[in-house]
Amino acid sequence: MEKIIRTDKQPERCVLVGVIQRGQSRWEVEDHLSELAALARTSGADIIDTFIQERPSPDPAYFIGKGKIEEIAEYVSFNDIDLLIFDDELSPAQVRNIENLTGIKVIDRTALILDIFALHARTNMAKVQVELAQLNYYLPRLTRQWQHLSRQVGGIGTKGPGETQLETDRRLVRQRISHLKEKLEKIAHQNEVQRQQRQELFRAALIGYTNAGKSTLMNALTNARVLIEDQLFATLDTTVRRLALNPTTTILLSDTVGFIRKLPHHLVASFQTTLAEAIEADLLIHVVDVTHPHFEAQVKTVNQILDELHLNEKKRLLVFNKVDRLKNHHLIDQLRLLHPEALFISAARHIGLQHLRNRLLNLAEERYEIEQIRLNYQRGAAEHLIYPLAKILEKSSDEQYLYLTIKYDKANKSKINQITAKYR
Ligand SMILES: Nc1nc2c(ncn2[C@@H]2O[C@H](COP(=O)(O)OP(=O)(O)OP(=O)(O)O)[C@@H](O)[C@H]2O)c(=O)[nH]1
Ligand SMILES: [Mg+2]
C-alpha cells in the first residue's frame, strides 16, 4: 500500500476505539462512539475508522486485548494515522503501553474534552478554569515523563535524577494550581458582587446536554447574540441577560456550559465559577434536543450531574427543543403523558416561545406576594401616605377611590418590588 504524503497543516487522522463491556449493549457503545466522533471533529480531527471490541472487562495493560492492539498498530502504520482516541478513561500505564506498541499518540475521552475546552475558552475565567482542570488531570500522569527520563539514565534504582526531575515537575504544577485557584477565587468574588447587585430579580438558568440548543434559545428570547454552533461545547462561559416578560416583570436569564456523559470530575469541580449562575438560580430550564436518538439517556446524564452539583432540589422546567425537526409527532404525545409539565418548542423557528414566556412569568410571579389596598381618596389620606403619588392624585380629583397594588418579594417582605395605582 502506498504511503499518504501530507503537510503539517492538515487535520490529524484519528481512529476511535471502544469496548463493549459486561452489561453493555452494542448500540449503547456505538452511540457513545458517535458522540466521541462528534467530539473529535469538534477538536479538528479527521476520523478514519472505528474499532470496537467485546470483552467482559478491560485489560490492565492495554485496555483492549493485545491481539486487537496489534491489529490496530498494523492499521495505523498502513493508513498513516496520527492519533488513537479511546472512549474510556485510560490509566497512565495503559496510555504508555499502547503508545509504545503503536508508535502514535493515545488519548482518552477526558483528554479530548479538555482539549476542546482549551480550544473554546475565550474569557479569562474560562481559560483559568480549563487550565486548572488540565493540570489536575495531568498531575497524576506526570509519571510518564519520569519513565521516559529514567530510561535515558538507565532506569536503575528509584532515587535517580529522573525522580528528582519528577518531583520538581510536580511541585511546579502544584504551585501553578494554587496560583490559578487564587485567581479563580478573585474572579468568583467579583461575580458574586455583581450577582448580589441583581439579587432582586428572579433568575432562570438554561442548562442541558451539549448541543441541545441552549444558546439558540437564549438568543431567541433575549437577542443576546451568544455564539451558536453545531459543535459540542460551543459555549464555555456564562452569559446573563434581562428578559422582560411583561411591562412589570423582568427576570434574568443565563446561558452556560453544556453537560456530557462522563464529564470529567476535574471539569465539574473547576467549572463551579461558570456554573455559579445555575447553582444560585431560582429556576433551572432543562433544554433537551428531542430529535437526538438517545435524548432520554442525555436527560439522565444531566440529572446525574445536577445531583453531583447538589442541585436536585431546585425547581426545574423541562423544555423539549427542536420540534421543528421532529418527524414522529407521536413522540410528543407520549412525552406529554410522561411529563405533563414539560414544554415543546423550537428555539430556531420560534415555536412555542410565547408559552414558555407565560410559564416563566407564572413561575417568577410565584415569588411575589400581591397585596391590594383601597384608600378613600376624598379623605385625603393618600397624599400623606404616599407622597410620590400625590401629583397623580391631583389630576383625577373626581375619582372616588384609589387602589394600590403592592408587590412584595416573598423571601424578603420589607422589599417592595413594585407599586401600581388605579382609580375607580
Ligand atoms: N432544527 C433546529 N435546530 C436547532 C434548534 N435549536 C438549536 N438548533 C441547532 O442546534 C445546534 C446547537 O445549538 P446551540 O444553541 O449552540 O446549542 P447549545 O446547547 O448552546 O450547545 P453548547 O453550547 O455547545 O453546549 C446548532 O446547530 C443550532 O442551530 C431548533 O429549535 N431546531
Ligand atoms: Mg451554547
- The finding on whether 230 has its CB within 6 A of some atom of ligand 1 is yes
For residue 341, the SS3 value is coil
- Does 411 show up as a binding residue in the annotation? no
Across 364-392, average pLDDT: 62
Question: Do residues 356 and 374 both lie within one domain?
Answer: no
- Residue partners of 410: CB distance under 8 A and separation at least 6: 367, 368, 369
Q: How many A from CA of 225 to the centre of ligand 1?
A: 13
- The finding on whether 273 has its CB within 6 A of some atom of ligand 1 is no
Given 116, 149, 181, the domain boundary residue is 116
Residue 39 has pLDDT above 60, yes or no: yes
| Alpha-carbon gap, residue 66 to 79, rounded angstroms | 20
Alpha carbon of 347 to those of 46, 56, 222, 343, 373: distances in Å? 30, 43, 12, 12, 41
Given 165, 194, 223, the domain boundary residue is 194
pLDDT of residue 62: 95
What average pLDDT is seen over the chain? 83
Question: Do residues 279 and 375 both lie within one domain?
Answer: no
Question: Do residues 52 and 79 both lie within one domain?
Answer: yes
- Residue partners of 370: CB distance under 8 A and separation at least 6: 405, 406, 407, 408
| Alpha-carbon gap, residue 418 to 410, rounded angstroms | 13
Of 215, 231, 325, the one to substitute when testing ligand 1's pocket (max ligand atoms within 8 A of C-beta) is 215
Length of the chain: 424
Question: Do residues 406 and 348 both lie within one domain?
Answer: no
According to DSSP, residue 325 is labeled G
pLDDT of residue 154: 37
**CA nearest to 62, candidates 48, 49, 51, 46:** 51
Alpha carbon of 355 to those of 201, 214, 221, 343, 358: distances in Å? 21, 17, 12, 8, 5
Q: State how far Cα 242 lies from the chain centre.
A: 21
- Answer whether residue 246 is part of any domain: yes
CA within 13 Å, CB half, 258:
27
The CATH number of whichever domain residue 239 belongs to comes to 3.40.50.300
- Does 67 show up as a binding residue in the annotation? no
pLDDT of residue 414: 62
Question: Do residues 178 and 326 both lie within one domain?
Answer: no
pLDDT of residue 158: 40
- The finding on whether 232 has its CB within 6 A of some atom of ligand 1 is yes
- The finding on whether 211 has its CB within 6 A of some atom of ligand 1 is yes
Residue 381 has pLDDT above 70, yes or no: no
pLDDT of residue 34: 93
- Name the residue with the closest Cα to ligand 1, atom 25: 210
- The finding on whether 326 has its CB within 6 A of some atom of ligand 1 is no
- Taking the CA of residue 321 as reference, the ligand 1 atom at the shortest distance is 31
- Does 322 show up as a binding residue in the annotation? yes
Of the bound ligands, which one is closest to the alpha carbon of residue 287? 1
- The finding on whether 270 has its CB within 6 A of some atom of ligand 1 is no
Structural domain count, the chain: 4
- Answer whether residue 4 is part of any domain: no
* pLDDT digits 0-9 by tens, 247-278: 878 899 999 888 888 777 777 777 777 788 88
pLDDT of residue 106: 92
Q: How many A from CA of 46 to the centre of ligand 2?
A: 23
* pLDDT digits 0-9 by tens, 99-151: 999 999 999 999 998 888 888 888 888 888 888 888 888 888 776 444 443 44
pLDDT of residue 418: 66
Of the bound ligands, which one is closest to the alpha carbon of residue 209? 1
Is the separation of the CB atoms in 92 and 71 below 8 Å? no
- Name the residue with the closest Cα to ligand 1, atom 12: 211
- Answer whether residue 104 is part of any domain: yes
Question: Do residues 206 and 151 both lie within one domain?
Answer: no
Q: Percent of the chain at pLDDT above 70?
A: 82
Question: Do residues 205 and 338 both lie within one domain?
Answer: yes
Q: How many A from CA of 223 to the centre of ligand 2?
A: 14
- Answer whether residue 89 is part of any domain: yes
- The finding on whether 216 has its CB within 6 A of some atom of ligand 1 is yes
- pTM recorded for the entire structure: 0.80
- Answer whether residue 253 is part of any domain: yes
- Name the residue with the closest Cα to ligand 1, atom 21: 211
| DSSP of 156-215 | -SSSSHHHHHHHHHHHHHHHHHHHHHHHHHHHHHHHHHHHHHTTTSEEEEEEEBTTSSHH
- The finding on whether 261 has its CB within 6 A of some atom of ligand 1 is no
Of the bound ligands, which one is closest to the alpha carbon of residue 228? 1
Question: Do residues 83 and 208 both lie within one domain?
Answer: no
Range of the domain at 162: 121-194
- Does 209 show up as a binding residue in the annotation? yes
Reported confidence tier of residue 160, pLDDT bands at 50, 70, 90: very low
Q: Determine which of 3-12, 28-37, 197-206, 366-375 has the lowest per-residue pLDDT on average.
A: 3-12
Helices first, then strands: H and E counts in the chain? 15, 13
| Alpha-carbon gap, residue 209 to 298, rounded angstroms | 6
Q: Determine which of 53-62, 195-204, 276-285 has the lowest per-residue pLDDT on average.
A: 195-204
**Phi, psi (rounded to 5 degrees) for 230:** -85, 60
Of the bound ligands, which one is closest to the alpha carbon of residue 230? 1
- Answer whether residue 1 is part of any domain: no
Q: How many A from CA of 150 to the centre of ligand 2?
A: 45
Sole residue written with cell 449562575 = 277
Q: How many A from CA of 250 to the centre of ligand 2?
A: 23
- Answer whether residue 3 is part of any domain: no
| Alpha-carbon gap, residue 396 to 127, rounded angstroms | 60
- Answer whether residue 209 is part of any domain: yes
Q: Determine which of 191-195, 221-225, 329-333 has the lowest per-residue pLDDT on average.
A: 191-195
Sole residue written with cell 465539574 = 268
Question: Do residues 375 and 271 both lie within one domain?
Answer: no
Q: How far apart are the first and last CA of the chain?
A: 92
Question: Do residues 22 and 110 both lie within one domain?
Answer: yes
* pLDDT digits 0-9 by tens, 312-359: 889 999 999 999 999 888 999 999 999 999 999 999 999 999 999 999
Q: How many A from CA of 230 to the centre of ligand 1?
A: 6
Question: Do residues 26 and 171 both lie within one domain?
Answer: no
Reported confidence tier of residue 9, pLDDT bands at 50, 70, 90: low
- The finding on whether 417 has its CB within 6 A of some atom of ligand 1 is no
Q: How many A from CA of 241 to the centre of ligand 2?
A: 14
| Alpha-carbon gap, residue 385 to 300, rounded angstroms | 55
| Alpha-carbon gap, residue 377 to 260, rounded angstroms | 61
Question: Do residues 274 and 211 both lie within one domain?
Answer: yes
Q: How many A from CA of 321 to the centre of ligand 1?
A: 9
| DSSP of 376-419 | EGGGTHHHHH-GGGHHHHHHTTT--EEEEEEEEETTEEEEEEEE
Residue 6 has pLDDT above 90, yes or no: no
